[in-house]
Amino acid sequence: MRVNKTFTDRIRITKNGKQMSRAKGQDHFNAKESGRSQFRKGRSVRTAFKKKTISRYLA
């Protein structure tokens, strides 16, 4: 089975093994948000994937 490249491009694995990705709801409708919340939306968040998902996309 091949690795899903679009899935792997959206995930970053840290050196300690944490899985980081962008949080949902960050792409549009940001004009009314405050500057602080817009800045927070640029950060990555830790995501937890089930073993089934990891084996399906990354194995």
Pairing of strands 12-13, 19-22: antiparallel
Range of the domain at 9: 5-57
**What pLDDT is recorded for position 36?**
92
**What pLDDT is recorded for position 55?**
79
Please indicate, yes or no, whether the overall pTM of this predicted structure exceeds 0.75: no
Instruction: Give me the tens of pLDDT residue by residue for the chain, a chain 59 residues long.
Output: 688 888 888 888 889 988 898 888 888 888 899 999 888 888 888 988 888 887 787 76
Domain count, the chain: 1
**Size (the chain), residues:** 59
Query: Around 48, how many Cα atoms within 13 Å sit in the side-chain half-sphere?
Result: 0
